[in-house]
Amino acid sequence: MKARAPRYPFPFVGEGIATARKALSVFVVFARPRVRQPSGVLPKVFTFRKQHSPVVLEAGHVGELAWAVARSYGRPGPRAEHGDASVAQWTTFGKDISRWLRALHEVAPIAFVVLPADDEYGTSFGRWHTWSSLRAGPEGAWGTAVRALVAKGAPRGLRGVARWVFDQYRRDLAMLAEDEQRAKLDALPAEARRLLARHGGIPDVVAAAPDPATPSLATMRAAFATVRGQDGDREERFKHALDAPQDDSGPSLWDFATTLDEQGHRGEAADVCLEALRGPVEYPDHWHNLVIQMLVQAGRHDEARARLPAALLHTPLYASERLMPAWIELLDAAGRQLDAAAVFHGAAKHISYFSSLADGAGAERAKLTRASAALRRRFAELWREAVQPAWQLTTLSDDALWNATSNAGKVGCSDLAAAASSERERRAAERLGRLEDDGEVEAGTFVAPPFDTATEAQFDRVLATLPQLDEVSAEKMFAWAYSATDEDEGRERKVYQALTRSRPPAKKARRYHWLMDLNNAIIMTWRRKQLDLSLQLVELAAPHAHENPHLFHAAACTYVSLGRLDEAFAQVVGAVEHRYSELAALKRDTDLGPLLTWPTFKALFASRRT
């Protein structure tokens, strides 16, 4: 009998769903030195491989990784034409990397792999990473990796890779409970202690002390009592009762609901969700997702069944990681095990890592069945049956209508998807018609892309409304406008010009997306030699570049193209000072032209050991 391969054949720090805007590198440390390392069949979007030493190989992508993944893996997502890869595409990319590494290990045994996370896009780490970081590394693998990465004569950039491994260990350790942290630190071998001390210090146990700004559960309960049964925005009233900021920096009604869930008060958490949904909420899909889970876990199955139709329409299928396990539990409790299995396998097709996310007796039993075409058809039938009580298209909000259209198509109810799409087109035509009369633009106008049938006059009218829009509507307007460009460079330029008139959102989460839009706009206008517009965007981004260091890189390229080299160098300094994750790519970016030869440029990177 063939021996079973080990689950984790070598330590892989950084394993998971790795995402990045421009560049990504994988560093492979081999167990034995070789004059020439075999590369195997590289992942399809990798653009280079470089052998740093007889035991260290670097391979990856330099350029526009997000665009490459969006073009190369599976079915393109809804914004693939804008360089946005879907979660499924990033997941497939991660599997491609793992496949390459496992194949490489067969011919050249691997001792350690590092895939540093991008600080803008980040990595959703997997179990292989957790084992590698918290167990294999301290138990001896660190020594092998460090000896290779910081060996005499090794490029200075590899020292940064080693530093990231230890920094990530500290972050992973801090995520554990205090007693687990203490146990792992007490069990550290002597060599691991020496290495930690040499690379940033041995960490202390990070106490899980509550943030002093976070009110106690009793205080939040008292605040909620003043909100319950009142009209209007419950979130706003809740924050007012707590004397908390109205932006996203303070405690929220959502925080209260999830805290109740974490502490086992599922019935109370369900009541908070139900109360929140009686008024306007910023993310209704999140609340619909949570309320079904809380009702089921509280044993309130009849209420959960009554609310299930609305939840299925309001929550995107890919984000139903709470809703779907709860639906499985409802079916299982009713003795409908085969239907529970159909929902399990239907959800697993659309939700990343659903098998590991789904918990509960019903889900565990459903896992024992095998996926089949018959179960997929049954999932579509169950979805159609479940949503019928709420399938009143003219009464659905624009967001719910968009989700209904997308979900119906994905589960295989093409007739329902066509009906929902027709209603979206009817609303679009009605609103665009009002634009012809120079009427006010509603926030709803920006909810249902693509409006690629808009005339130039209508398109210009929408963009002209930007200064009068609130943050939510402005974000939706840009989503609408990007869709309506339909690869028309003239329209894209108008969108970027409108972006120069936008205001930075007060809420950090919205500002994060706004800065990503700015970075993308700077890159696109610079590429198309629209340097006047690119400069306007750079100047708009400047006060906030520290929040997204990728902006420093984009700005540096713009200034170089304008011949303003001193200002370009200042942007490079900013990138270094704010620990830009792609410093290795910045250091050798030929788009920086003459800067690469400046002694001060070289000294800057040498001093930072990038």
Summary mean pLDDT of the chain: 83
6 within a domain of the structure (yes/no):
no
pLDDT, tens digit, for every residue of 145-193?
A: 888 888 777 777 788 899 899 999 998 998 888 888 999 999 999 999 9
Percent of the chain residues past pLDDT 90, beyond the cut: 38
Please state the three-class secondary structure of 331-372 as a single string. HHHCCCHHHHHHHHHHHHCCCCCHHHHCCCHHHHHHCCCCCC
pLDDT, tens digit, for every residue of 213-238?
A: 678 889 999 999 998 888 878 888 88
Task: Give residue 448's pLDDT.
Answer: 36
Calpha distance 337→317 (Å, rounded):
21
As given in the structure block, the two tokens for residue 421 are 């799409």
Calpha distance 524→537 (Å, rounded):
11
pLDDT, tens digit, for every residue of 6-38?
A: 578 999 999 987 777 778 899 999 988 865 555
Q: 359 CB contacts (<8 Å, ≥6 apart)?
A: 325
Same domain, 314 and 389: yes
203 within a domain of the structure (yes/no):
no
As given in the structure block, the two tokens for residue 236 are 């706003």
Task: Give residue 444's pLDDT.
Answer: 42
As given in the structure block, the two tokens for residue 22 are 């421009």
- Please answer whether residues 15 and 115 qualify as being in contact, where contact means their C-beta atoms are separated by less than 8 angstroms: yes
Single out the residue of 318, 313, 311 nearest to residue 294, CA to CA: 311
Same domain, 409 and 314: yes
**Count, residues in the chain:** 610
- Please answer whether residues 17 and 123 qualify as being in contact, where contact means their C-beta atoms are separated by less than 8 angstroms: yes
Task: Give residue 1's pLDDT.
Answer: 36
427 within a domain of the structure (yes/no):
no
Query: How many domains does the structure of the chain reveal?
Result: 3
As given in the structure block, the two tokens for residue 319 are 């984000």
Cis peptide before 450 (omega within 30 of 0): yes
pLDDT, tens digit, for every residue of 501-542?
A: 888 887 776 788 788 888 888 988 898 899 999 999 999 999
Same domain, 251 and 359: yes
Residue where a domain stops, chosen among 379, 414, 449:
414
* Containing structural domain, residue 557: 433-608
Q: 2 CB contacts (<8 Å, ≥6 apart)?
A: none
Same domain, 62 and 190: yes
Mean pLDDT of the 314-320 span = 89
Same domain, 269 and 403: yes
Calpha distance 202→170 (Å, rounded):
9
Residue where a domain stops, chosen among 349, 380, 414:
414
Task: Give residue 450's pLDDT.
Answer: 42
561 within a domain of the structure (yes/no):
yes
Is 58's pLDDT higher than 90?
yes
Same domain, 567 and 439: yes
Same domain, 284 and 376: yes
Same domain, 410 and 437: no
Q: 122 CB contacts (<8 Å, ≥6 apart)?
A: 19
Task: Give residue 503's pLDDT.
Answer: 80
Task: Give residue 332's pLDDT.
Answer: 92
Task: Give residue 433's pLDDT.
Answer: 66
| Beta strand pairing call for 48-53 and 12-13 | unpaired
> Which of 4-13, 272-281, 504-513, 559-568 ranks highest by mean pLDDT?
559-568
311 within a domain of the structure (yes/no):
yes
Q: Could you give phi then psi for residue 111, rounded to 5 degrees?
A: -100, -30
Task: Give residue 4's pLDDT.
Answer: 43
205 within a domain of the structure (yes/no):
no
Single out the residue of 334, 358, 335 nearest to residue 346, CA to CA: 358
270 within a domain of the structure (yes/no):
yes
Give 497's pLDDT tier (boundaries 50, 70, 90). confident
pLDDT, tens digit, for every residue of 338-378?
A: 999 999 999 988 886 677 677 666 777 777 788 899 999 99
Angle between helices 157-174 and 178-186 (to 10 degrees): 130
- Please answer whether residues 395 and 401 qualify as being in contact, where contact means their C-beta atoms are separated by less than 8 angstroms: no
Task: Give residue 605's pLDDT.
Answer: 79
Mean pLDDT of the 243-250 span = 65
| Beta strand pairing call for 24-30 and 56-61 | antiparallel
Calpha distance 236→254 (Å, rounded):
12
Task: Give residue 468's pLDDT.
Answer: 61
Q: Could you give phi then psi for residue 398, rounded to 5 degrees?
A: -60, -40
Q: 189 CB contacts (<8 Å, ≥6 apart)?
A: 138, 139, 140
Task: Give residue 536's pLDDT.
Answer: 93
Q: Residue 405 carries which DSSP code? A: H
Calpha distance 316→87 (Å, rounded):
13
Give 447's pLDDT tier (boundaries 50, 70, 90). very low
Give 208's pLDDT tier (boundaries 50, 70, 90). low
Is 428's pLDDT higher than 90?
no
Task: Give residue 420's pLDDT.
Answer: 94
* DSSP per-residue codes, 563-588: T-HHHHHHHHHHHHHTT-TTHHHHHT
Is 112's pLDDT higher than 70?
yes
Give 252's pLDDT tier (boundaries 50, 70, 90). confident
Task: Give residue 85's pLDDT.
Answer: 75
Calpha distance 203→134 (Å, rounded):
13
Same domain, 338 and 401: yes
- Please answer whether residues 269 and 278 qualify as being in contact, where contact means their C-beta atoms are separated by less than 8 angstroms: no
pLDDT, tens digit, for every residue of 374-394?
A: 999 999 999 999 999 999 999
85 within a domain of the structure (yes/no):
yes
Same domain, 293 and 338: yes
The whole-angstrom distance between residue 288's C-alpha and the CA centroid of its chain comes to 20
Same domain, 68 and 109: yes
Task: Give residue 119's pLDDT.
Answer: 62
Same domain, 438 and 399: no
Residue where a domain stops, chosen among 137, 168, 198:
198
